[in-house]
Chain A
Amino acid sequence: RKEVEQDPGPFNVPEGATVAFNCTYSNSASQSFFWYRQDCRKEPKLLMSVYSSGNEDGRFTAQLNRASQYISLLIRDSKLSDSATYLCVVSMTNNDMRFGAGTRLTVKP
């Protein structure tokens, strides 16, 4: 079983749609959680950290459920520029980060 699992997609949604991705992790001792975004043929970049209380950054909302060991990312009012692969990342320490394989999102006009 992979340590971090994501639905690979692709998710194809129209502009303006709301889309949600889930991610599950296997190590209950995981400490920190993140979503990274990776554009085609580019490097991953931090999108947002995920806090236990849930957090929001504009159109993006991240949630953590420690009991069920899953993380979610909700994107409201999707834009064409949101098209990318979204990587779920879980870490034990700052030197031990585990990356999911990514969920691909395509937003269409």
Chain B
Amino acid sequence: DVKVTQSSRYLVKRTGEKVFLECVQDMDHENMFWYRQDPGLGLRLIYFSYDVKMKEKGDIPEGYSVSREKKERFSLILESASTNQTSMYLCASSLRNQETQYFGPGTRLLVL
């Protein structure tokens, strides 16, 4: 079974803090993704990576950065958290040429 884990289920941060969200997958998947999910908007892609040290912007990259130093780990960084980044953050992974994405359990981030 594919396993995608995320470092925290719930996180509360203050405006201006730097926030790190970690995602690890154990199935040797090449592709990894970060989404945010908000009511009424569905999942929106922030960044994705198709290989170590490679990254591509998704639809809403502003205010975020990512890091992929190892194949199994994909980190999302909020350089200076703002209240409009309060959301559910979902990490996913997939094999290079397959479309099925496997999701982690999500991190609910509240920025005060």
Contacts and interface: CB of A to CB of B under 8 A. Distances in A.
A97 B101 contact: yes
B48 interface: yes
A100 B106 CA distance: 18
Interface size class of B (residues with CB under 8 A): 20 to 34
B31 to A, nearest CB: 6
A95 B42 contact: no
Interface in A58-109: 87, 91, 94-95, 97, 99-102
Identify whether the interface residues of A are mostly helix, strand, loop, or mixed: strand
Contacts of A45: 103
A44 B37 CA distance: 11
Interface stretch (B60-68, B70-78, B90-98): B90-98
14 contacts: A34-B99, A42-B106, A43-B103, A43-B105, A87-B43, A94-B31, A94-B94, A94-B96, A94-B97, A94-B99, A99-B43, A99-B44, A101-B41, A102-B42
Given A2-B42, A44-B43, A95-B31, 16 more contacts: A8-B40, A32-B99, A42-B105, A42-B106, A43-B90, A43-B104, A43-B105, A44-B103, A45-B103, A46-B101, A94-B97, A94-B98, A94-B99, A101-B40, A101-B41, A102-B42
